[in-house]
A and B are shown apart, each in its own frame.
Chain A
Amino acid sequence: MTGYVVDDLALIAGLAGTGSELHRRELSRLLHGAIDGGPTLDIPALCLTAACVVRPAVAGHLADILAAAPVSAIEVSGLSRTGHLDALRAFRPELVWPATHAAARALASRMPVLTVDPDRYVGTGVDVLSL
């Protein structure tokens, strides 16, 4: 199964109105694709929380979509203490929690992180793609 870990910056750009029209439409295309059996979208809970600080309604909208989409097409993932999390905290302690959560999910799933700031993940040991 292929997919993407969507970080808080991509969520904010696409869903909270701070990004470009292209960001919004790209995220629309990715959500439609996931619903139709394309690459899955993993949304770390701390990334969703950060997006909700900018636009509180984001959580409800995404939950509505997740609940209607096929099982596992779109998931909000929890934060667990793992070896990946410990390593990220040791090597990149300055990284904000949403980014740490996204990187930990990427390391666990071996999926790339989708973001609007790829430089943020330098040194984390994850594949990164630009929204």
Chain B
Amino acid sequence: MTAAADRARAHALVDDLLGPSDQAADRAVAVLHAHAAALAWVRNTTGTYPAPASVAVQLFSAAERLRDGSDGRDPVAVLGQTAVDALAAYRSTAAA
């Protein structure tokens, strides 16, 4: 089998098992990926894992609003900015 045929078979198996995705799931996964990317940015910026607790809490809250529809903005932009702001607040508190 070619790689393309393998991939097509894998996709078909997922659909057989779980059914296709839909708009709500696509949005939830887009938020998930943006949340993971924001955590990765924090990790790369600070050089530590996991993210500081206060940063994680703010990212989690923002992600919840994006998932439940109360915030319809672009998840990458929202969670990216939340990470920047939360990390800055954490650092200013830690330095005080």
Of the candidates B3, B6, B32, the one having the most CB atoms from chain A within 10 angstroms of its own CB is: B32
**Shortest beta-carbon distance from B69 to chain A in Å:** 12
Q: A25-B25, A28-B21 are in contact. Are A65 and B10 (CB under 8 A)?
A: yes
**Shortest beta-carbon distance from B24 to chain A in Å:** 6
Contact partners of A64 in chain B: CB under 8 A: 13
Q: Contact at B3–A29, with CB atoms within 8 Å?
A: no
Contact partners of B63 in chain A: CB under 8 A: 129-130
Question: Interface majority SS on B: helix, strand, loop or mixed?
Answer: helix
Give the residue name and chain of the B residue nearest to A37 (CB).
Answer: B7
Q: Contact at A127–B50, with CB atoms within 8 Å?
A: yes
Residues of chain A in range 68-113 having any CB-CB distance to chain B below 8 Å: 68-70, 107, 110, 112
Give the residue name and chain of the A residue nearest to B29 (CB).
Answer: A29
Partner of B13, one of A33, A68, A130: A68
**Shortest beta-carbon distance from B73 to chain A in Å:** 19
CB of B84 closer than 8 Å to a CB of A: no
Partner of A127, one of B19, B24, B51: B51
A 113-128 binary contact with B (CB < 8 Å = 1; else 0)? 0100010000001111
**Shortest beta-carbon distance from A64 to chain B in Å:** 5
Q: A112-B39, A127-B39, A129-B35 are in contact. Are A26 and B28 (CB under 8 A)?
A: yes
Complex Cα–Cα for A83 and B19 (A): 40
Complex Cα–Cα for A118 and B9 (A): 33
Residues of chain B in range 28-74 having any CB-CB distance to chain A below 8 Å: 28-29, 32-33, 35-37, 39-40, 43, 49-51, 56, 60, 63-64
27 A–B pairs (Cβ distance < 8 Å), ordered by A: A2-B37, A4-B36, A15-B17, A24-B19, A25-B24, A26-B28, A27-B18, A28-B17, A28-B20, A28-B21, A28-B25, A30-B32, A32-B11, A35-B7, A61-B13, A64-B13, A65-B10, A65-B14, A69-B7, A70-B7, A110-B43, A126-B49, A126-B50, A127-B39, A127-B50, A129-B36, A131-B32
Residues of A at the B interface (CB closer than 8 Å) are 2, 4, 14-15, 22, 24-33, 35-36, 38-39, 61, 64-65, 68-70, 107, 110, 112, 114, 118, 125-131
